[in-house]
Chain A
Amino acid sequence: MTRITVTVDGAKYSDDVEPRTLLVHYLRETLGKVGTVVGCDTSNCGACTVHLDGRSVKSCNVLAVQVDGHEVTTIEGLATEAGLHPMQESFHEHHALQCGYCTPGMIMQAIDVLNTHPDPTEEQIRLGLEGNLCRCTGYHNIVKAVAAAAKAPGAAAVSSSKVGD
């Protein structure tokens, strides 16, 4: 067991974890942050995407011990008392989800795409989301939602450091 201290969605946690524990399992099983989900066992689907110090990572591809001393933001940390994050709003507005299983990862990755490309082309959006699979939507409305969110104020601004402040 290894002791880690990590800030998740603005709150500080300290836990003993097995060294082999994946971040996604730590989030789901230890912290009960089941908003972040698992879709595959080969790091292909992106359903587990979260932000680590403000950049997107696939949390099935990161060990819990690696986030010791770092900040993680999950889908559950996006909305504030003021309301939904603009990317959440945009996914809702543009019907960018059906079953919603890919949605948490897709939204976290989409925010990262806008962090990198505040005014993205369609191609930049499509390449930026390439590592996130969705079986329901055919992607059309996801791309549309991300493009629309880019025009909304504050869509790219959220990062874990902000939430953690």
Chain B
Amino acid sequence: MTAVDERPAESAEIGKARRRKEDQRLITGRTKWTDNIVLPGMLHLAMVRSPFAHAKVTSIDTEAAKGATNVVAVYTAADFPDGMGACANAWPITPEQVTPDHLPMVTEHVACAGEIVAVVVARSAAAARDAAELVDVDYEELPAVLDAKEALKDEVLAHPDKGTNKSAFWRLDSAEAGTGGSVDEAIAKAREDGIVIEREYRQQRLVPAFMEPRSTVVDPTGEQVTMWTSTQVPHILRFLIAATTGMPESKIRVIAPDVGGGFGGKLQTTPEEFITLAVARKLGKPAKYTETRSESLLSAHHGRDQYQMLTLAATKDGTVTGLKVDLLANLGAYVAIVGGGVPVLGAWMFHAIYKFPAYQFNCQTVLTNTTWVDAYRGAGRPEATFAIERLMDELAAEVGVDPLEIREKNWIKHEEFPFVSVSGMTYDSGNYEAATARAKELFGYDELRAEQKQRRQSGDPVQLGIGVSTFTEMCGLAPSRVLGQLSYGAGGWESAAIRMLPTGKVEVITGTSPHGQGHETAWSQIVADRLGVPFDDVEVLHGDTAIAYKGLDTYGSRSLVVGGEAVVRAADKVIEKAKPFAAHLLEASVDDLEFKDGRYAVKGTDKGVGITEVALATFASHNYPDHLEPGIDADATYDPVDFSFPHGTHLCAMEVDTETGASTIRKYVCVDDIGQVINPLIVEGQVHGGLVQGIAQALWEEAVYDDNGTLVTGSFVDYTLPTTADTINFVTDNTTSLATTNTLGTKGVGEAGTIASTPAVVNAIVDAVRDRGIHDIQMPCTPARVWAALQSAGSAEVAQAQPHFHEEAANNADPGTTGEGSGS
């Protein structure tokens, strides 16, 4: 099928590189960040946090702090006998999942460093912080378990009362589900007469590290409470405050003002939010809490942290016959809001763009005494994409062909869409050939391969490697019925409303909650086209539960494909609703009207009336059809029928200095197919930012704990975000096959860059040194790690690095030679 035929008619706004409406306040310093909010009589909070990863609180002495100048109160959990709400897990992946209670403030048991044991309330943030130092807490230290593999042994328990560290086990098996064959049979057959590749990859722990530290202001005005907070999920937060504190939902207003980045890191309902709420209510005074960066790195949730055990079976010519995935995911101290579900999202993605006949995905989640882990840009899908794209390179090396050739052999051809994957997902559209051809051309693939060969032959100390990543992802979370089947605690719909103001201006209310994505601009473009009104006449309102009264917020690249579709449907309802009014004004029959470019015209005449004129006429209501109520505003709730599946081909050239281990990015090209582009400028920005976050996982970032469970990367000195000096300019382009599951044909783009780029970079580094017997380098591929790999290359240690998951089974792929590329 060629979805291109269904492209919407040539239109003025969609596809235009509109400069963003959001920018004016952001470039002039007029932004409304939560921490900018000052209310009369506002008090400031400082948290007293456990320095220990695992401990029992034996006593807390708050007297000295209480006596400090300008301190109003010091509270511990004991001061809130009715509790202060709870940090909920919204997605238990199995009914038996072990889910420790996660209360905002510790009563006795500390399960990770940074947990809050007391809160100081003072006239200024500085006074609160000073006094927090005076709170004297006695701890009885307990042994801590930090690493997922250690946790699996159940020798040291993160929550001794639970009796186990194992939280849940989740499986998807294509034979059982009837979507494919038996993976064990495929592997057994490949061991006899084919290729078996077994690898273990590590997805290191990362920190989302949004630039705006989290901040919450609560104003308890009489019975009602307003909370401003730096969140991606104001609606979900409001619901969970009501559900866990017993406050009537109608008394709670949550506002996400300007929010400085999230990347998944702000989709949590946090202890700090619940504590600020409880303190403000207890004192009847507005209260503010703003975290320091060190607190943010320690106590805002982390991402990734998985071990991936992978077995790929193929025939000798490189046709994949099966993939088995055994995932071990470290959830940290608690099962965060969707923490248990994030690794499971990989279940539908490990087979990526390929036609694997058999597949099995197993996921074991474990609890440890570390910061809780949840969604970070991509959430489950980058991990899966990394694994399969690394494996496809390994397979190419084993067969002795170009990595693009092995992918093409196995991928879904463009004429095969819609295609039902081995995990049962229906890929609606795509064209991997087109994206790859364009990427190769922009990259100069053949020339760079020639240069690589030449450098290899001449023994250049700086070797060139080329990394490929042909990714897909599923986004647009999510059809509510699918979420129901997965026991997810909410639906996946999104809502929008359109108000036609009498002066001809249009207000769009969206349930999505942007924090950098440019929804105000993109939604304006969509509505301008749909209603035929000027772009500048559209105002987009969001992020306030009293205004955008219904919504499920922004995460999982859902805003455009789900929220944007709701906007389209609300606009279409306005057009339908206004039609009888237009007919009445024109003294024509509804059937004779057609709507185009903002006007209802009587077919075959030059008579017509603009939709904004209808808005004014219904406002005056002097003259309208008897059987109608005056007004043409409309709202819509859209429940997606399916996910959307953007894809793309990313090519990365890395130069690796074999004498120092340092690697530099030489060139990066990506061609993404994200369906209909609403605003190419915004899309490009999303891709650039995503790329750098993915590249950062490959090269620089890692959250590291010492043996005692202290986060040693607890500041920006040690947690090394990339800078301008580390990065390069990118070459980006798009090919287009429209999504068939929404009106505009859009797919998500927010996470694509992050999902695709990590394996492209690591594949490039490994490709540069593969001829020396290296077939993997653990992320982040720091110079020290690359150098160490080069030093031990060819030694017995490297030769045995190939894991054998089934020790009794003979591994047909000779471990001594799989690292040697075309030689084997």
What residues of B have a CB within 8 angstroms of the CB of A155 in the complex?
A: none
What residues of B have a CB within 8 angstroms of the CB of A45 in the complex?
A: 211, 293, 716
What residues of A have a CB within 8 angstroms of the CB of B681 in the complex?
A: 95
Q: Are A40 and B724 in contact (CB under 8 A)?
A: no
Q: Are A99 and B36 in contact (CB under 8 A)?
A: no
Once bound together, how far apart are the Cα atoms of A140 and B686, in whole Å? 11
State the majority secondary structure of interface residues on A: loop
Q: How far is the CB of B283 from chain A (nearest CB, A)?
A: 21
Q: How far is the CB of A43 from chain B (nearest CB, A)?
A: 9
Once bound together, how far apart are the Cα atoms of A131 and B688, in whole Å? 19
Q: How far is the CB of A138 from chain B (nearest CB, A)?
A: 4
Residues in A3-44 with C-beta less than 8 Å from chain B: 25, 28-29, 32-42, 44
Q: Are B261 and A99 in contact (CB under 8 A)?
A: yes
Assuming A40-B293, A100-B516, A138-B727, is B29 touching A91 (CB within 8 A)?
no
Could you tell me how many residues of chain A have their Cβ less than 8 Å away from some Cβ of chain B? 58
Per a CB cutoff under 8 Å, which of B27, B31, B729 touches A140? B729
What residues of A have a CB within 8 angstroms of the CB of B212 in the complex?
A: 37, 39, 99, 101
Q: Are B31 and A35 in contact (CB under 8 A)?
A: yes
Q: Are A42 and B211 in contact (CB under 8 A)?
A: no
Query: B800 in the interface, Cβ–Cβ < 8 Å?
Result: no
Assuming A95-B19, A95-B681, A135-B261, is B725 touching A44 (CB within 8 A)?
no
Binary contact readout B722-735 vs A (1 if CB under 8 angstroms, 0 otherwise): 11110101100000
Once bound together, how far apart are the Cα atoms of A104 and B30, in whole Å? 10
Q: How far is the CB of B646 from chain A (nearest CB, A)?
A: 18
Q: Are A133 and B723 in contact (CB under 8 A)?
A: yes
What residues of B have a CB within 8 angstroms of the CB of A97 in the complex?
A: 23, 26-27
State the majority secondary structure of interface residues on B: loop
**Complex: chain A residue closest to B28, CB-CB:** A79
Q: How far is the CB of B672 from chain A (nearest CB, A)?
A: 14
Per a CB cutoff under 8 Å, which of A36, A47, A74, A126 touches B725? A126
Q: Are A135 and B211 in contact (CB under 8 A)?
A: yes
Per a CB cutoff under 8 Å, which of B211, B689, B725, B727 touches A39? B211
Query: B219 in the interface, Cβ–Cβ < 8 Å?
Result: no
What residues of B have a CB within 8 angstroms of the CB of A76 in the complex?
A: 28-30
**Complex: chain A residue closest to B721, CB-CB:** A133
Once bound together, how far apart are the Cα atoms of A44 and B688, in whole Å? 22
Q: Are A74 and B690 in contact (CB under 8 A)?
A: no
Query: B33 in the interface, Cβ–Cβ < 8 Å?
Result: yes
Residues in B470-514 with C-beta less than 8 Å from chain A: none
Assuming A44-B717, A97-B26, is B725 touching A127 (CB within 8 A)?
yes
Once bound together, how far apart are the Cα atoms of A32 and B37, in whole Å? 10
Query: B517 in the interface, Cβ–Cβ < 8 Å?
Result: yes
Q: Are A34 and B33 in contact (CB under 8 A)?
A: yes
Binary contact readout A108-149 vs B (1 if CB under 8 angstroms, 0 otherwise): 000000000000001001111111111111111111100000
What residues of A have a CB within 8 angstroms of the CB of B28 in the complex?
A: 35, 75-76, 78-79, 84, 88
Query: B22 in the interface, Cβ–Cβ < 8 Å?
Result: yes
Per a CB cutoff under 8 Å, which of A44, A75, A95, A125 touches B685? A95
Q: How far is the CB of B696 from chain A (nearest CB, A)?
A: 10
What residues of B have a CB within 8 angstroms of the CB of A103 in the complex?
A: 26-27
Per a CB cutoff under 8 Å, which of B29, B723, B727, B753 touches A35? B29
What residues of B have a CB within 8 angstroms of the CB of A66 in the complex?
A: none
Q: Are B724 and A139 in contact (CB under 8 A)?
A: yes
Once bound together, how far apart are the Cα atoms of A42 and B213, in whole Å? 13
Binary contact readout B142-167 vs A (1 if CB under 8 angstroms, 0 otherwise): 00000000000000000000000000
What are 15 residue pairs bridging A and B, where the CB atoms are less than 8 Å apart in the complex?
A25-B126, A35-B28, A75-B28, A92-B19, A98-B516, A98-B685, A100-B22, A130-B723, A133-B723, A135-B210, A137-B689, A138-B730, A139-B724, A142-B724, A144-B729
A-B contacts besides A126-B725, A132-B724, 6 pairs, CB < 8 Å? A42-B716, A98-B261, A99-B260, A104-B29, A133-B716, A139-B722
In the A-B complex, the 3 residue pairs with the smallest Cβ-Cβ separation, listed nearest first, are A35-B29, A100-B26, A101-B260
A interface residue numbers (CB < 8 A to B): 25, 28-29, 32-42, 44-45, 47, 74-76, 78-79, 84, 88, 91-93, 95, 97-104, 107, 122, 125-144
